[in-house]
Amino acid sequence: METNIMLSLDRISKTFNPGTINEKVALNGLDLRIEKGDFITVIGGNGAGKSTMMNAVTGVFPVDEGTITLDGEDITGLSEYKRAKYFGRVFQDPMTGTAPNMEIEENLALAYRRTKSHGLRWGISEKERVRYKEALARLDLGLENRMHAKVGLLSGGQRQALTLLMATLERPKMLLLDEHTAALDPKTADKVLRLTHEIVREDSLTTLMVTHNMKNAIEYGNRLIMMHEGQIILDIRGEDKKKLTVEALLAQFSRASGSEFANDRALLS
């Protein structure tokens, strides 16, 4: 077994609503190998299968075919909550990643227990509070002084920053970001992205980041993959990635897929 492979997807297929008029092949024999320490950005047109790939990896639904191997362990049949201990996740919708009716520190306490079983011990300890306060201070949003505030009161950007912190509080094997800045205004999106970059670098996390922003996809990470019709059609890394431009990327897409790049948001941003 290769030891420097963190995640390996082998011939993953997923079809939604099979046998109906709404049948949609979302993943079509997808192959992907992610090395430890890789920071991969994922781009692709509407319905290319980016989110489906994320959801397949995290076990939101079972895949039809193929195997998912994480750090040498076959996790294909593992349920979503059991896989959670390996993955830190941040979603597109800022509402998804946090519990709005609960306090900031309660949310962090839940995240801290992602890798542990839940018992009848008290839900949060003093020792943890100190740690959370330090971690929140790192975000530089003043949240460390609002530990008892309900998360529902926070702005979208604050919530995404908090979700990012929750995802990485207990070091995950992989950090999965599904268009986590798409719902934010450009300035906030930038701030959250810089924060992401910082955390990923400091903790040297293996990261998969779906984005609709080609500039960001080129700017961040050491490897870029482009998806089309449930498969990976471009895989650019190292020096090639550093030299990439948006125009070159669009041209490469047309050549590889034989069609125009169709993602309204990507073209507008």
Partner 1 sequence: MLLSGLCQGFIWAILSLGVYISYRMLDFADLSCEGTITTGASVAAMLIWRGCNPFLAALLAFIAGCLAGTITGLLHTKLKIPPILAGILTMISLYSINIHIMNLATGKEGTSNLSLLNYKDQTVYAAIDRLLGIGKTNASLLLGLVIAAAVIALLYWFFGTEIGCAIRATGTNEKMCRAQGINTDVTKIIGLAASNGFIALSGALLSQYQSYTDVGMGVGSIVIGLASIIIGETLFARAKHFAVRLLGIVVGAVLYRIVVAFVIFSGMPSTDLKLMTAVVVAVALSLPILKNRLALNAKKKNAKKAG
Residues that bind partner 1 (CB under 8 A): 58, 79-82, 84-85, 87, 89, 91, 95-102, 106, 109-111, 113-116, 118-124, 166
Of 136 and 166, which CB lies nearer to partner 1 in the complex structure?
Answer: 166
Residue type, 195: L
- Token pair for residue 8? 């390996």
Of 3 and 17, which CB lies nearer to partner 1 in the complex structure?
Answer: 17
Distances (CA, A) of 152 to 28, 192, 205, 255: 39, 18, 28, 46
Of 95 and 256, which CB lies nearer to partner 1 in the complex structure?
Answer: 95
Of 43 and 176, which CB lies nearer to partner 1 in the complex structure?
Answer: 176
Q: Are strands 223-228 and 231-237 parallel, antiparallel or unpaired?
A: antiparallel
- Token pair for residue 230? 């449930």
User: Cβ 115 to partner 1, closest distance in Å?
Assistant: 7
Of 166 and 189, which CB lies nearer to partner 1 in the complex structure?
Answer: 166
Of 22 and 101, which CB lies nearer to partner 1 in the complex structure?
Answer: 101
Provide CB contacts within 8 A for 257, sequence distance 6+.
Answer: 228, 229, 233
Of 82 and 242, which CB lies nearer to partner 1 in the complex structure?
Answer: 82
Provide CB contacts within 8 A for 138, sequence distance 6+.
Answer: 165
Of 18 and 100, which CB lies nearer to partner 1 in the complex structure?
Answer: 100
Q: What is the DSSP letter of 153?
A: G
What is the rounded distance in angstroms from the CA atom of residue 102 to the CA atom of residue 212?
31
- Tell me the β-bridge partners of 14: 27
User: Cβ 102 to partner 1, closest distance in Å?
Assistant: 6
Closest CA to 69 of 5, 137, 164: 5
Query: By the 8 A CB rule, do 115 and 135 touch?
Result: no
- Token pair for residue 220? 């961040």
Using left for φ > 0, alpha for ψ between -120 and 50, and beta otherwise, residue 258 falls in: left
Q: Treating both helix axes as pointing N-terminal to C-terminal, what angle do 156-169 and 104-112 enclose, rounded to 10 degrees?
A: 30
User: Cβ 94 to partner 1, closest distance in Å?
Assistant: 11
Chain centroid to CA 173: how far? 12
